[in-house]
Amino acid sequence: MSIAQIEYFVAVAEEAHVGRAARRLHISQPPLTRQIQRLEDELGAPLFERTPRGMRLLPAGARFLAHARRVLAEVDAARRCLEPLPSSQRAR
């Protein structure tokens, strides 16, 4: 699974709708739907129930969501630790 797939999953889970998640992510719906399906295939479990009004997390999706958010937080922390320090904080 990729970081992008995890980001996409979290967006769909939070928006409960593929269209709104796609707009939030600045991508179109078909690639988003494909990536969610690939993630479900890789994990071997359906994460969402598709409903006429959107997407509803299934129990497996709810369990995965907590882990996905932690992964994204750790990736963000790793990126931040590599940002250059402001000149006032650099060793002299």
Q: Residue 62 domain-assigned? A: yes
Q: Which domain holds residue 60?
A: 3-81
What does the pLDDT look like over 13-51, one tens digit per residue? 999 999 999 999 999 999 999 999 999 999 999 999 999
Question: What local confidence, expressed as pLDDT, does residue 83 receive?
Answer: 83
Q: What's residue 46's pLDDT?
A: 97
Is residue 88 assigned to a domain?
A: no
pTM: 0.86
Query: In the chain, how many domains are there?
Result: 1
Q: What is the mean pLDDT of residues 73-78?
A: 94
Nearest Cα to Cα of residue 60 among 47, 72, 73, 71: 47
Residue 91 lies inside a defined structural domain of this protein: no
